[in-house]
Structure 1
Amino acid sequence: MLSVTKVLNNNVVIANHEAYEEVVLIGKGLGFGKKPGDEIAGTQAEKFFVLKDQAEQEQYMSLLEYVEEDFIGVMNEFIDKLEDRFGARLNEHIHVGLTDHLHFAVKRIQQGQGINNPFLQETELAYPQEYAVATELTEWFGHQVGVRIPAGEIGFITLHIHSALTNRNLAEVNRHTQMVGELVDIIEENLAMQIDRRDMNYLRLVRHLHHAIERIQFENYVENQDALKDVLQQQYPVCYNLSWKLMKVMQRRLKKAVPDAEAVYLTLHLQRIVDNVRKIN
């Protein structure tokens, strides 16, 4: 048995748990007639999660003051479906972050406001599994709340999912995705070309940029490639110099050293794109 700390609404209760201290219990009618100090069986809850951070607890309580109970119920089911798809427990912060995000997204859609996501394709390329699940469940979510969710919103939901799966800060995931988009802009500007987003070489480049950023962030550096670096500098000077320009941007943004070996991999990716454009033209 658990002791009720606070009743947030008819379906959501905060209770004192022996092992986890305060937990959030969710279940239809779970909070009806309950008051602080009452005992409640944990088995009555359809779901429970722990918000260990005090700020997150306060954010969730604040959330329930302006978000309708029906919407909270849909979001809990949405997150259950996500966990089923991935066969993993998601970081509990998704209950706060994704609920808050989608609540305001639905309000904007209902008011006829558009949703612009300039990094949608880069997000899909970087996190294909999360994007596929987000696409499927966003359609289900739209039916539940009675609105058509635009494609751009799928990208934002993907980032929330990836953040919760990897226990990475959402703001960091978002910054890295935006950085990749900006790096692609620099590439197109310096090569004076528009890259075909359907080109397999573009897909490989974007995924490599994401992996490179993560490696640099966590200082998981690649092996030295000095011999190949000298060859590529001679054979592909334009792409080689561009690779260094991209590396300087990453170094400045991440405030981390970028290993010289990264120039080799970036040069090869860039040269493949250039060669493909030449074949077409």
Structure 2
Amino acid sequence: MEQLLTIEKVLNNNVVIARHDAYKEVVLIGNGLGFNRKKGDVISFGHADKTFLLQDEAEKEQYVNLIPHIDENLIVSINEWLLFIEEQMGKKLNEHIHVALTDHLSFAITRAKKNIQFSNPFLLEIETLYPKEYRVAKDVVQKVETRMGVGFPEGEIGFIALHIHSAVTDKPLRDMNRDHALISRLTELIQSELKVDLAKDKVNYHRLIQHLHRAIDRVHQGEALSVENKLQELLKTEYPVCYNLAWKLIKVMQNQLNKPVDEAEVLYLTIHLQRLTHPN
């Protein structure tokens, strides 16, 4: 049986907000979907290429205010790219990406047309931590550039990859950016203390970044690591410089995250730091 909705607001020719008895407010997107339609008209789910809920009031208000200022063809294109992302990731995307990516891409395209470029200081870290999202984001950037006739800086791949990861994991973008800033601070401290230049294209650097990321996740989740006391004494004796630096990194993490860090993390960090000082 066809499910019918009542249109509450026509945002443009391609986007309408409608009300459903069970789902409440639903956003429907489709080419020409809103043409010649008005508030109170009845429409079915089958008319839309894409439907999603905006249960967060702040996000709904942002989306409603955003859409009238964006080219209608771009809305249809973004819908295509979101379907592509969902297909490539093989996972349902959190609905907030409709607002976040629409907002981001519209401004990114405007910046590109004005030749205003932003660097992405976490680009290599993002590629290391989220390789699948990065590959999909790279394809999306190519699609946007071809469709819109613009050129994006490489850093844009990283920004879009973060949006994709946020939508797949339901982790807020602000939390991800906070963690990346912490990782950047930790790696700067490592370079300064060990007097090493971290080669970002080397395996040990990638291992370090992944470990720091997992360590931060464990702090957020309150997970503890198990370790033998004998290993702790061995590392403390054999690698005192790396061991002491590992403790400094732990203190930075505790202060930044405002949460306790399992002491066992020191041992694993010591091993990673030792690899950096003796890469061969």
Superposition TM-score tier, normalisation by shorter sequence:
over 0.9
**2: CA distance, partners of 1:132 / 1:200:** 19
Residue 2 of structure 1 contacts residue 41 of structure 1 at CA under 8 Å; is this kept in 2? yes
Cα shift at 1:45: 0.7
Per-residue deviation, 1:33: 1.3
**Which residue of the partner structure matches residue 267 of structure 1?**
270
C-alpha distance in 1, partners of 2:261/2:205?
Answer: 22
Question: 1:247, 1:131 → 2: CA distance?
Answer: 29
C-alpha distance in structure 2 between counterparts of 1:64 and 1:13, whole Å: 10
Report if aligned partners of 2:12, 2:68 keep a CA contact under 8 Å in 1: no
Give the conservation status (yes or no) of the 8 Å contact 1:225–1:264.
no
Which residue in 2 is equivalent to 1:37?
40
C-alpha distance in 1, partners of 2:267/2:105?
Answer: 41
Q: TM-score, normalised by structure 2?
A: 0.96
Kindly provide the amino acid, as one letter, of the partner of residue 200 in structure 1. V
Deviations 1:201-245 (A, max 9, x none): 111000011111111011122224433112101100111111111
Q: 2-side partners of 1:48 and 1:244: how far apart? A: 50
Per the TM alignment, residue 85 of structure 1 is displaced from its structure 2 partner at its CA by 0.4
Q: What are the Cα deviations for residues 81-105 of structure 1, in whole angstroms up to 9, with x where unaligned? A: 0001012111111111111112111
Residue 255 of structure 1, CA deviation: 0.9
User: Any conservation in 2 of the 1:225–1:261 contact (CA below 8 Å)?
Assistant: no
Map 1:193-208 to 2 at 5 A: 193-208=196-211
The alignment's C-alpha RMSD in Å is: 1.1
Paired with 1:118 and 1:140, the residues of 2 have a C-alpha distance of 24
Kindly report which structure 2 residues correspond to 1:73-152, keeping only aligned pairs within 5 A, or say none: 73-152=76-155
CA distance in 2 between partners of 1:19 and 1:237 (Å)? 62
Instruction: Name the CA distance, whole Å, in 2 between partners of 1:55 and 1:242.
Output: 43
Unaligned runs of 5+ in 2: none
The whole-number CA distance in structure 2 between the counterparts of 1:66 and 1:162 is: 26
1:173-212, CA deviations, whole angstroms, 9 ceiling, x for partnerless residues?
1111121111111100111110111211111000011111
Change over 3 Å in CA distance of 1:225–1:126 after alignment to 2: farther
Check whether the contact 2:7–2:42 (CA below 8 A) recurs between aligned residues. Answer: yes
CA distance in 2, matches of 1:225, 1:255: 27
Q: Please, which runs of 5 or more residues in structure 1 have no aligned partner?
A: none
Residue 250 in structure 1 maps to residue 257 in structure 2: no
Deviation of residue 65 (structure 1)?
A: 2.1
| Larger deviation, residues 216-225 vs 123-132 | 216-225
